[in-house]
Structure 1
Amino acid sequence: MEHASNYGLRDEIKAYWSARAATFDLSPGHEIFTDAEREAWQKLILRHLGEGNGRQALDLASGTGVVSHLLDDLGFAVTGLDWAEPMLDLARAKARKRGRSIRFRLGDAENTMEPDSTYDVVVTRHLVWTLVDPKAAFAEWRRVLKPGGRLLIVDGDFVTAGFTEKALKRLAKLLQKFGLLKADAVPASPDMMEAHRSILSRVHFSGGARANDVADLVTAAGFHDVRVDVDLRQIHKAQSKHWNAFSAMARGIQHRYAISATKPIADASDAPR
């Protein structure tokens, strides 16, 4: 009798994002459609990482390369890493079209296989909520950073919804049902929504990735100067123009944040072995 399949949660996550690749860049909050949003993202990056000046940046779970292009704009030498090949195909095509020299490689953000102390900055957007083992992932990200290197995480709690957010979403659905409100672009299919719910119920942050909990794990992984930044208002304001009014308000009150941290200059992981 055959044993159960080895196809597990991480495989499901990879398959989910591979399936999402085709429409990923059509969704507000994924691709950037206006100069105002691009400038808001760049200000956030500059606030935490400073100018690139040729420094090496690793964009983890880079998808179609949206954040990689922001980093490239600011003068970083960028490597994008993603384990969904359809995402990488689109990222490489986009970079060619825009004349960028960004490198995109196939790899696992939780086990990068990158050399020790290689990157000046490591950046992630909307990755942490999907992590199966964030403790190991954060240790891995510290490993590939140079001493003094910076980590920037942009993420949110996409599980916990307060009364106001729930009410806005219910009202939006009701108005859409009666044709009184335009639906948001690229709605997910019922199958994809169910896959998302199933994955979310089983990842480490199944109860929601709260900023303080993530920051505590980053600190425990050996990072210093851990900063939590919840001022993403300019990004939300720019994105809101592409959502209906109720969806924009609901997204604007979600718990979204940026966390930055520094790998210590004298890090035990860099000692001779």
Structure 2
Amino acid sequence: MDGLADGSNFNLRDEIKAYWSERAATFDQSPGHEIFSEEEREAWHRLIVGHLGEGRGRTALDLASGTGVVSLLLDDLGFNVTGMDWAEPMLERARAKAKARGRVITFRLGDAENTMEPDNRYDVITNRHLVWTLVDPQAAFAEWLRILKPGGSVLIVDGDFVNTTPFERLVQKLANLTQRMGFTRPLAMHQPPQLMETHRSILSRVHFAGGARAEAVVELLKKAGFQDITIDTDMRRIHRAQAKHMGFWKGMARGAQHRYAIKATKAA
């Protein structure tokens, strides 16, 4: 998994880091990345509180924090937040965003699979759309268990971005048809074709190349030693809010995708 990639002197982890560094400039332009409405913000707050409770000063590590979207949500709720990402351009935007909003959040350069954090450091760990990119999720989950305090929890928000549902495929056919007939325009692309190809190449070589199904993630969490694991597939409030800022067909498909939140706890 982590060998040299196609004659390059980058290994797979280096490629992933370089990809997200390049994506940083346009990351916040996409609905589903940045938050574009108070309705969506409130939906995220509800999801987080439902699984982790209010912050009340508890320590939270937001892994693969990107431009700080989830870190800011945690700060809204009263957590003492550290964001960690291994793409410095993402961190630069996250720091600027927090400063502009008057927030006190620490953003740190680091690897989600090897955080270098001390044992039993955090009350909660969060991540969004990280697990599907992990080269070695089993090692990553063991690392997260190590740095959580006893009784602490991880909240994973992710999805299967490989396997499409029959409804998604139908929606895509209708979208293509209406575009050919001139009734709708193609969706605006927030990354050039070369980066899209890089994304496909990376996805084909990570651990979850076949799709990060919730059940497969749960099995690895169990092996790492996590307990009291729950899968929440009710993301409807978030998806409805996001759909209002997407093209019609993409918004239709969003709710049919296999997206989920998983909460898992370290033994007290």
- What's 2:237 paired with? 234
- What's 1:155 paired with? 158
- Contact 2:55–2:74 (CA under 8 A) maintained in structure 1: yes
For 1:120-173, what per-residue CA distance to the aligned partner results, in whole angstroms no more than 9, with x for missing partners?
A: 000010000000000000000011100000100000000001222122123223
When residues 238 and 5 of structure 1 are mapped into structure 2, their CA distance, relative to the original with a 3 A threshold, is closer
- Contact 1:23–1:186 (CA under 8 A) maintained in structure 2: no
For 1:214-245, what per-residue CA distance to the aligned partner results, in whole angstroms no more than 9, with x for missing partners?
A: 01111111011000000000000000001122
Question: Equivalent of 2:263, from 248, 256, 260?
Answer: 260
Identical pairs, percent:
67
Does residue 170 (structure 1) correspond to residue 173 (structure 2)? The answer is yes
Does residue 28 (structure 1) correspond to residue 28 (structure 2)? The answer is no
Q: What is the correspondence of 1:114-263 to structure 2 with a 5 Å cutoff? A: 114-263=117-266
Secondary structure at the counterpart of residue 26 of structure 1:
coil
- Contact 2:118–2:147 (CA under 8 A) maintained in structure 1: yes
d(CA) in 2 for partners of 1:248 and 1:98? 29
d(CA) in 1 for partners of 2:189 and 2:73? 24
Secondary structure at the counterpart of residue 198 of structure 1:
helix
For 1:86-108, what per-residue CA distance to the aligned partner results, in whole angstroms no more than 9, with x for missing partners?
A: 00000000011000000000000
d(CA) in 1 for partners of 2:128 and 2:25? 19
For 1:179-205, what per-residue CA distance to the aligned partner results, in whole angstroms no more than 9, with x for missing partners?
A: 421333444321111111101000000
Secondary structure at the counterpart of residue 264 of structure 1:
coil
d(CA) in 2 for partners of 1:103 and 1:182? 41
- Contact 1:62–1:81 (CA under 8 A) maintained in structure 2: yes
- What's 2:3 paired with? none
The 10-residue stretch of structure 1 (176-185 or 228-237) with the greater mean CA deviation from structure 2: 176-185
The 10-residue stretch of structure 1 (209-218 or 176-185) with the greater mean CA deviation from structure 2: 176-185
- Contact 1:27–1:185 (CA under 8 A) maintained in structure 2: no
The 10-residue stretch of structure 1 (181-190 or 200-209) with the greater mean CA deviation from structure 2: 181-190
Secondary structure at the counterpart of residue 159 of structure 2:
strand
d(CA) in 1 for partners of 2:113 and 2:180? 41
What is the Cα deviation at residue 257 of structure 1? Answer: 0.3
Secondary structure at the counterpart of residue 248 of structure 1:
helix
For 1:234-263, what per-residue CA distance to the aligned partner results, in whole angstroms no more than 9, with x for missing partners?
A: 000000001122111111100000000110
Q: What residue ranges of structure 2 are gaps of 5+ in the alignment?
A: 1-6
Secondary structure at the counterpart of residue 165 of structure 1:
helix
Q: What residue ranges of structure 1 are gaps of 5+ in the alignment?
A: 266-273
What is the Cα deviation at residue 177 of structure 1? Answer: 4.4
What is the Cα deviation at residue 6 of structure 1? Answer: 3.9
d(CA) in 2 for partners of 1:209 and 1:234? 22
TM-score normalized with structure 2 length: 0.95
Secondary structure at the counterpart of residue 57 of structure 2:
coil
d(CA) in 2 for partners of 1:6 and 1:264? 41
The 10-residue stretch of structure 1 (130-139 or 238-247) with the greater mean CA deviation from structure 2: 238-247
- What's 1:40 paired with? 43
- Contact 2:26–2:191 (CA under 8 A) maintained in structure 1: no
- Contact 1:65–1:80 (CA under 8 A) maintained in structure 2: yes
